[in-house]
């Protein structure tokens, strides 16, 4: 039971109580304060930022002001056509239209009234640029670097970035910088020198910890938002788990929380906003709702996201949707690391393939990461298991490209790999494909046939089976120096390598049903008075799709902005 009777006394009273300290909740708090409101953020863990802090920090905002400033054309009509094409009628048009109209306004408001500083990812394509209304770049925006020293002691309380976002587990860079280095665009050596020098010359930072104080990606986004809240004296209570909702005459009027070992009753005069993430770190809920096999250890997201808030909403009679879906992505589980790593760039680079237990390819490895796991589950059968799958590559790939925890072999040869990784057997290696197949438990004849077929496709530059490298998105993470197809290269040079690939995620997509105003809806479709939900504890307004980088945080921040507007200073 997660509801409580109205207390005879309240310990604390605010206008808007926000459960969860990710980018969506922080945006709601900031906007509420700007409109004269009295918001409070509570966070159950001892770190703020949630999965937003661990993410790439990008926002998918169509027709945004940065595109216009760069001379990139977009329109509300194109954006709406794109979302309609991808969601196939599963999302009410009212929600899609509202997002297309309000997301650019949110971004401009935050640029004008907060510390948020974003830059356009002009060459980062929509995930489906060939779809009606799709664009070759500019709709995704990412944070500029942010100086963590502006946070003072609050920096130590921010959730750390995902390890895959850091060079050598230490040094941060933006997604744009990372792509320049990967592609070795002109000036990449100078850029590398600048990034590394910046880190090592921060003597004060190195004296405190190995953590980079020049923040990027999700840490930069959360840092900007946290500093903006500090400017406004908005409180963020850490280690304050929500225990019960308080309902009076059918309306949510507050919550009972735990703080410093004591029970605290918080009244929310205008409303309660759930912004607390999904259930990706809850094995029991994953097994109940998601396709199987599935494990919490396969997620890259916040370990604090265990679905508590979704269950609280369900206890109030709220409906749920999309509970069998997630923001999918293929992951690798590295021994000794607390979270899985997502294989974002590795899967599309030439000289590698994904195969199932039979050793057969079954997908376009360079396609959007969300589609990779959908294909893994769609093709998974007892006769041809695809979950997990296996990434196979040769020595040429190993030498040229990073993969999971490894730098390119030219920089980190096999003999220089950490002893713990070598001893764990994480990376399989053999002078023959049959030998590698035996180590992975894959059918050797199937693997040899798949590699032979890929080698032929690489020579011709065409993948007639799965069309790898045909989409503009595929080619973004290809190697532009490889011709005729930047995503295809033969696997001909032993030794051969393999790692296990899991059906992981950035977070779950299903949650409480909401309307276009982010009001939580009962199974009957009627609103639960006083209760709102945004982000991954609500059923995504993107439905079954993932339009582009930032398709998670963009809506979370936009709906946080809209809820704050609706509940403060007359709406």
Are the C-beta atoms of residues 76 and 101 closer than 8 Å to each other?
yes
Same domain, 514 and 501: no
**pLDDT of 522-554, one tens digit each?**
999 999 999 999 999 999 999 999 999 999 999
pLDDT of residue 207: 86
Token pair of 561 as six digits: 């902005």
Q: Within a domain: residue 204?
A: no
Would the pLDDT of 429 be above 50? yes
Q: How far apart are CA 368 and CA 474, in angstroms?
A: 8
Q: What is the pLDDT of residue 125?
A: 97
- pLDDT higher than threshold 80 for residue 6: no
Express each pLDDT in 129-167 by its tens digit.
999 999 999 999 999 999 999 999 999 999 999 988 888
222 within 8 A of 26, measured Cβ to Cβ: yes
What pLDDT is attached to residue 466?
A: 98
Higher pLDDT, 495 or 165: 495
Domain closes at, from 479, 505, 531: 505
Whether 177 is covered by a domain: the verdict is: no
In the structure encoding, which two tokens stand for residue 369, read together?
Answer: 């990461």
pLDDT tens digits, one per residue of 315-326: 999 999 999 999
| Same structural domain, 56 and 137 | yes
Distance CA 280, CA 462 (A): 37
Does residue 446 fall inside a structural domain? Answer: yes
Q: How far is CA 114 from CA 8, 34, 47, 110, 318, in A?
A: 39, 10, 22, 5, 34
For the residues 380-385, what does the mean pLDDT come to? 96
Residue 300 sits in a domain whose CATH number is 3.50.50.60
- Among residues 505, 525, 560, the one where a domain terminates is 505
- Let me know if residue 196 belongs to a domain: no
What's the pLDDT score for residue 475? 95
Instruction: Report d(CA 523, CA 514) in Å as an integer.
Output: 11
**pLDDT tops 50 at residue 254:** yes
Residues 357 and 402 in one domain: yes
* Distance separating alpha carbons of residues 566 and 201, to the nearest angstrom: 47
pLDDT at position 346, please? 95
Does residue 425 share a domain with residue 485?
Answer: yes
Residue 51 above 50 pLDDT?
A: yes
In this structure, is residue 200 part of a structural domain? no
pLDDT band at 2 (very low <50, low <70, confident <90, very high): low
Cα distance between residue 24 and residue 221, in whole Å:
11
The residue among 486, 505, 524 that closes a domain is 505
* Strand ranges for 387-486 from DSSP E: 389-393, 428-430
In this structure, are 2 and 60 located in the same domain? yes
pLDDT (tens digit per residue) in 178-223 = 888 887 888 888 988 999 999 898 889 888 899 999 999 999 999 9
Report if residue 193 sits inside a domain: no
Average pLDDT, the chain: 95
Taking residues 244-263, what's their average pLDDT? Answer: 96
Residue 294 exposed, middle or buried by CB count within 10 Å (0-12, 13-18, 19+): buried
Q: Does residue 286 share a domain with residue 262?
A: yes
In the predicted structure, residue 564 carries a pLDDT above the cut 70: yes
420 falls in which pLDDT band (50, 70, 90)?
A: confident
Measure the CA angle with vertex 36, ends 33 and 41; round to 5°. Answer: 30
User: Which pLDDT value is given to residue 1?
Assistant: 47
Question: Is residue 97 very low, low, confident or very high in pLDDT (cuts 50, 70, 90)?
Answer: very high
Query: SS3 helix, strand, coil % of the chain, rounded to 5?
Result: 35, 20, 45
Q: Can you say whether the dihedral through the CA atoms of 84, 90, 95, 99 is positive or negative?
A: negative
Q: Are residues 364 and 451 in the same domain?
A: yes
Residue 186: the pLDDT is: 87
Tell me, yes or no, whether 345 and 310 share the same domain. Answer: no
Are both 65 and 114 inside the same structural domain? yes
Same domain, residue pair 96 and 37: yes
Residue 570, pLDDT score? 55
On whether residue 374 sits in a domain, the answer given is yes
Quick one: pLDDT at residue 451?
Answer: 98
Query: Looking at the structure, do residues 458 and 543 belong to the same domain, yes or no?
Result: no
CATH code for position 426 = 3.90.700.10
- Kindly indicate the confidence band of residue 562, based on its pLDDT and cuts at 50, 70 and 90: very high
CB 508 within 8 A of CB 279: yes
- For the sheet with 59-60, list strands across it: 59-60, 140-143, 118-120
Please give the Cα distance from 499 to 497 (Å, whole number): 7
What local confidence, expressed as pLDDT, does residue 142 receive? 97
Q: Is residue 307 located within the same domain as residue 394?
A: no
| Model confidence at 506: pLDDT above 80 | yes
The confidence score (pLDDT) of residue 29 equals 98
Q: Is there a domain that residue 484 lies in?
A: yes
Range of the domain at 567: 1-144+219-325+509-571
Mean pLDDT value of segment 389-398: 98
How many separate domains does the chain show?
2
């Amino acid at each position: 039971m997660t509801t409580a009777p109205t207390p005879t006394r309240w310990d604390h009273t605010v206008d808007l109580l926000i459960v969860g300290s990710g980018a969506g909740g922080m945006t709601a708090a900031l906007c509420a304060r700007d409109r004269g409101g009295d918001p409070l953020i509570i966070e159950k863990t001892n770190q703020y930022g949630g999965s937003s802090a661990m993410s790439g920090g990008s926002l998918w905002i169509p027709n945004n002001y940065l595109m216009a400033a760069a001379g990139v054309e977009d329109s509300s009509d194109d954006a709406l056509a794109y979302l309609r094409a991808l969601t196939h009628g599963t999302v009410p048009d009212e929600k899609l239209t509202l997002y297309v109209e309000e997301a650019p306004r949110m971004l401009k408001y935050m640029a004008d009234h907060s510390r948020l500083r974003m830059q356009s990812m002009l060459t980062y394509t929509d995930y489906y640029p060939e779809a009606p209304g799709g664009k070759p770049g500019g709709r995704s925006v990412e944070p500029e670097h942010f100086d963590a020293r502006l946070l003072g002691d609050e920096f130590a309380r921010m959730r750390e970035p995902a390890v895959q976002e850091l060079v050598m587990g230490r040094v941060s860079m933006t997604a744009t910088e990372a792509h320049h280095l990967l592609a070795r665009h002109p000036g990449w050596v100078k850029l590398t020198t600048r990034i590394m020098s910046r880190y090592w010359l921060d003597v004060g930072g190195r004296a405190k910890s190995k953590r980079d104080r020049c923040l990027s990606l999700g840490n930069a986004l959360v840092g900007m938002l946290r500093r903006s809240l500090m400017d406004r004296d908005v409180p963020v209570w850490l280690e304050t788990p929500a225990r019960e909702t308080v309902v009076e005459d059918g309306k949510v009027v507050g919550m009972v929380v735990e703080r410093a070992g004591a029970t605290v009753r918080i009244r929310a005069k205008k409303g309660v906003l759930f912004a607390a993430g999904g259930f990706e770190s809850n094995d029991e809920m994953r097994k109940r709702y998601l396709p199987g096999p599935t494990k919490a250890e396969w997620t890259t997201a916040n370990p604090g996201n265990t679905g508590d808030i979704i269950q609280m909403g369900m206890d109030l009679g709220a409906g749920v949707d999309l509970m069998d879906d997630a923001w999918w992505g293929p992951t690798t589980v590295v021994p000794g690391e607390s979270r899985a790593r997502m294989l974002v760039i590795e899967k599309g680079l030439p000289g590698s393939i994904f195969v199932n237990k039979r050793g057969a390819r079954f997908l376009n490895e360079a396609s959007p990461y969300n589609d990779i796991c959908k294909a893994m589950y769609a093709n998974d059968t007892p006769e041809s298991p695809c979950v997990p799958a296996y990434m196979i590559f040769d020595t040429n790939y190993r030498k040229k490209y990073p993969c999971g925890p490894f730098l390119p072999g030219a920089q980190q040869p096999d003999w220089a790999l950490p002893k713990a990784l070598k001893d764990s057997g994480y990376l399989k290696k053999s002078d023959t494909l049959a030998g590698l197949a035996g180590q992975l438990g894959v059918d050797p004849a199937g693997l040899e046939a798949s590699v032979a077929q890929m080698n032929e496709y690489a020579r011709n530059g065409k993948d007639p089976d799965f069309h790898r490298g045909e989409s503009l998105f595929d080619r973004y993470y290809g190697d532009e120096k490889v011709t005729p197809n930047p995503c295809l290269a033969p696997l001909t040079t032993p030794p051969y390598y393999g790692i296990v690939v899991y059906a992981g995620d950035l977070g779950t997509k299903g949650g409480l049903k909401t309307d276009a105003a982010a009001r939580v809806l009962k199974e009957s479709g009627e609103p639960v008075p006083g209760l709102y939900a945004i982000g991954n504890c609500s059923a995504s307004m993107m439905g079954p799709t993932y339009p582009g980088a930032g398709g998670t945080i963009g809506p979370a921040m936009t709906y946080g902005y809209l809820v704050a507007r609706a509940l403060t200073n007359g709406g």
